[in-house]
Structure 1
Amino acid sequence: MYPKIKRRVTRKVWVGKISVGGDSPIRVQSMTNTPTADLNATLSQIQKLFEAGCEIVRVAVPDEKSAKALKDLVKESPIPVIADLHFATLLGEKAVKAGCAGIRINPGTFKNKANLERLLKICKDYNCCVRIGINAGSLEPEILKKYKVPSYKAMVESALRWVEYVVETVDYHNLKVSLKSSNWWETIKAYQAFSKKSDFPLHVGVTEAGGLIPGTIKNTMAISYLLLKGIGDTLRVSLTADPVEEVYVAYEILKNLGLRTLYPEVIACPTCGRCEIDLFSLYQKVEAWTKRIKANLKLAVMGCVVNGPGEAKMADIGIAGGKGVGVIFREGKIIKKVPETQLLEEFFKEVETFLKEHPERLINPQ
């Protein structure tokens, strides 16, 4: 059983053909870390992200070379492309005209409001979604002067100010908002406060969260808390790691909250002195294999033949190892006993058989 979550009611906006907010599923995003001007490398990474389940991808546009690559990048990308902008509104104009489905602007880095207004009008002409991306590390000088430190209150005032500016100045509403800090608790307070004052959809996550383990923990603390409160329409798990890992972690968070499932759940015992099999290797191989399939399944990898099937009886299919031998069980009942060397091969066959018998468990992420 999972918690019953009542999602906050927000407007529905569009990033290309992908809807965000309203009754849309919570969308998973990531960002490439290749030079955008390197078209082949960037497209290759986008393809890997897409195959992992990423629905929207952001790319950096720091210079003219990057902007020139966008037309072909957008044409070849299997998912909507968002241009990440700082300082140069002219690059943003080129990104929108190249076909980018969205732009992310960090208002604290734009000094010329006339140029920014021109960019926003072009976004309106092309129905290009705008994310107002507030970052604690780059708030406007007048906001910092007022609050002294980049607190959550400072972030919320900045976000509300810029939403009002876009809506009133340009009369444009295809907007989403983010309020990110490297402090997960400040991030939570910012999103909670903003969500009480605006119904624009929210892109949630923690910025500068760190590497795979510390970054996963920081993001999980903030994103899970917000989602449990019904706050969040799209998310990115920012990690100093392969961007594909961001997608995997995002779906793990959503799955464990009962909000979205893409990959099978793999449960495993933590090992103990009774374990007589290389459970670590076994688990890693099963986990890697499950990334090839998108299905609503619960699989188990247990280290003890005696207790394994009973402890994991809620799993659809599982394996439990022993000394030189293992068993495969289905819904807690042993169906096959095989030599350890054949355990994985037979297990994968049983999973494939199960999915043929239950095609409704397969998931089409589109």
Structure 2
Amino acid sequence: MTKQLLVGTVAVGGGAPVSIQSMCNTKTDDVAATVAQIKALENAGCELIRVAIPDRAAAEAVDKIKEQISIPLIADIHFNYKFALECAERGIDAIRINPGNIGGAEKVKAVADICRQKRIPIRIGVNGGSLERELRAKYGGVTAEALVESALGHAALLNQFDFDDICISVKCSDVPLTIAAYRLLAERTEYPLHLGVTEAGTPSMGLVKSAMGIGGLLCMGIGDTIRVTLTADPVEEIYAAKKILRAAGLRHDGVNLIACPTCGRTRIDLIPLAEEVERRLDGCRKPITVAVMGCAVNGPGEAAAADIGIAGGDGEGLLFRKGEVLCKVPQERLVDALMEEIEKL
């Protein structure tokens, strides 16, 4: 089990539930826009939010943002250690840095000192694209071993200044490499791990890469907090993360919809039927499994574990619960009957 950190009020590691993160794409010093986006993300299910701190104006906006939001705020800082100090003074809940790119030992010590005094955790974020030149040369490129050596080297640097409230990420856009790096890191440290496949792309491919990388690691028992990175509205990252956690068996809030892929036995237009059920269940928080099946063969039998479900026929269908048929329903009433039964659960 990993060490547990507190990021504001959210526990990370040490057996705590895997938390969902995202990052604002607004200009941080545009407080109104940033707060609006954070609230939209929180409503979608985001539990930790990160903002970019590229300049002093962004750092000076931290306390103004904090006053108006409920979830913990993380500062993403590169190169200028003074921005980390400014954010710490203004109540930031955690800082994401790469200790190797903010200057010499005295600057790292200054950040470690203020974060220790104010109990602010630090995430060491190592990315394949920004791996140190000497490690690339040593390992012949970006490898799992190089990423892990970089991360643990940065952790050791913070340890020199009596700082140990550390979370680590070793992200790449290459899924197998990302998985290998996190597996190796999990063997060598007890720090909590922030999972992600960086630069995953647009939702169509980005969700696949993230499900493979993040979901695969979670199924191995690796990972304490996650961010799905998509070239899209950040709210889409939250929906994707929730789906990954549900698929990995780590979240049970909301509906688990299962549906058969259709075959030659299907006598009902199942695809729009399943899409309609999915649309009408959007926002339902009941921890239930709902089945939409194409025929009696794949209905109550194969979907017997579902809490409630429907199976198509020819002009009519079956409404069933836990494998037991409740009644036959005309095709045009199938979805309405299903929703009415879900309301009773």
| TM-score under structure 2 length normalisation | 0.91
Aligned to 2:113: 121
1-side partners of 2:281 and 2:260: how far apart?
18
Contact 2:291 2:306 in 1 (8 A): yes
The answer to whether structure 1 residue 154 and structure 2 residue 141 are counterparts is: no
SS state at 2:188 partner: coil
Which region of structure 1 is more displaced relative to structure 2, 243-252 or 174-183?
243-252
Which region of structure 1 is more displaced relative to structure 2, 19-28 or 270-279?
270-279
The answer to whether structure 1 residue 65 and structure 2 residue 68 are counterparts is: no
The answer to whether structure 1 residue 233 and structure 2 residue 224 are counterparts is: yes
One-letter amino acid of the structure 2 residue matched with residue 103 of structure 1: I
After the TM superposition, which residues 63-142 of structure 1 pair with which residues of structure 2 at under 5 Å, given as runs?
63-142=55-134
Aligned-pair identity in percent equals 44
The answer to whether structure 1 residue 345 and structure 2 residue 333 are counterparts is: no
2-side partners of 1:122 and 1:219: how far apart?
34
The answer to whether structure 1 residue 254 and structure 2 residue 267 are counterparts is: no
2-side partners of 1:125 and 1:215: how far apart?
39
Question: Of 246, 270, 277, which residue of structure 2 is paired with 1:286?
Answer: 277
Per-residue CA deviations over 1:85-104 (Å, capped at 9, x if unaligned) read 11222222222222221111
One-letter amino acid of the structure 1 residue matched with residue 126 of structure 2: I
Cα offset for 1:200? 0.9
Question: Of 30, 51, 54, which residue of structure 1 is paired with 2:22?
Answer: 30
Cα offset for 1:307? 4.5
After the TM superposition, which residues 254-333 of structure 1 pair with which residues of structure 2 at under 5 Å, given as runs?
254-304=245-295, 307-322=298-313, 324-333=315-324
SS state at 2:41 partner: helix
SS state at 1:14 partner: strand
Cα offset for 1:131? 0.2
Cα offset for 1:112? 4.0
One-letter amino acid of the structure 1 residue matched with residue 165 of structure 2: N
Q: Quick one: structure 1 residues 132 and 327, their matched pair in 2 at CA, closer, same or farther if it must change by over 3 Å? A: same
Cα offset for 1:13? 0.8
Aligned to 1:43: 35
The answer to whether structure 1 residue 196 and structure 2 residue 176 are counterparts is: no
Per-residue CA deviations over 1:30-79 (Å, capped at 9, x if unaligned) read 22223323333332332232233221111222233322332122222221
Question: Of 177, 196, 216, which residue of structure 1 is paired with 2:207?
Answer: 216
1-side partners of 2:306 and 2:177: how far apart?
38
Contact 1:309 1:333 in 2 (8 A): yes
Cα offset for 1:186? 1.6
One-letter amino acid of the structure 1 residue matched with residue 284 of structure 2: I
- The gaps in structure 1 that reach 5 residues or longer are 1-8, 355-366
Contact 1:60 1:84 in 2 (8 A): yes
Aligned to 2:159: 167
1-side partners of 2:100 and 2:142: how far apart?
12
Q: Quick one: structure 1 residues 154 and 306, their matched pair in 2 at CA, closer, same or farther if it must change by over 3 Å? A: closer
Cα offset for 1:316? 0.7
One-letter amino acid of the structure 2 residue matched with residue 217 of structure 1: V
Contact 2:300 2:320 in 1 (8 A): yes
Q: C-alpha root-mean-square deviation of aligned residues, in Å?
A: 2.2
Which region of structure 1 is more displaced relative to structure 2, 268-277 or 77-86?
268-277
One-letter amino acid of the structure 2 residue matched with residue 48 of structure 1: A
One-letter amino acid of the structure 2 residue matched with residue 184 of structure 1: V
- The gaps in structure 2 that reach 5 residues or longer are none
One-letter amino acid of the structure 2 residue matched with residue 77 of structure 1: I
Q: Quick one: structure 1 residues 285 and 75, their matched pair in 2 at CA, closer, same or farther if it must change by over 3 Å? A: farther
Q: Quick one: structure 1 residues 207 and 72, their matched pair in 2 at CA, closer, same or farther if it must change by over 3 Å? A: same
Contact 2:31 2:61 in 1 (8 A): yes
1-side partners of 2:296 and 2:240: how far apart?
30
2-side partners of 1:189 and 1:140: how far apart?
19
Q: Quick one: structure 1 residues 88 and 313, their matched pair in 2 at CA, closer, same or farther if it must change by over 3 Å? A: same
One-letter amino acid of the structure 2 residue matched with residue 66 of structure 1: A
1-side partners of 2:280 and 2:164: how far apart?
43
Contact 2:267 2:313 in 1 (8 A): yes
Cα offset for 1:157? 1.2
Contact 2:81 2:103 in 1 (8 A): no
SS state at 1:76 partner: coil
Q: Quick one: structure 1 residues 145 and 281, their matched pair in 2 at CA, closer, same or farther if it must change by over 3 Å? A: same
Which region of structure 1 is more displaced relative to structure 2, 187-196 or 138-147?
138-147
2-side partners of 1:153 and 1:72: how far apart?
41
Cα offset for 1:227? 2.4
Per-residue CA deviations over 1:122-167 (Å, capped at 9, x if unaligned) read 2122211110011111123333343341222211111111111111
Contact 2:108 2:158 in 1 (8 A): no
Cα offset for 1:181? 1.2
Q: Quick one: structure 1 residues 281 and 47, their matched pair in 2 at CA, closer, same or farther if it must change by over 3 Å? A: farther
One-letter amino acid of the structure 2 residue matched with residue 23 of structure 1: G
Aligned to 1:3: none
Q: Quick one: structure 1 residues 288 and 141, their matched pair in 2 at CA, closer, same or farther if it must change by over 3 Å? A: same
Aligned length: 345
Q: Quick one: structure 1 residues 126 and 222, their matched pair in 2 at CA, closer, same or farther if it must change by over 3 Å? A: same
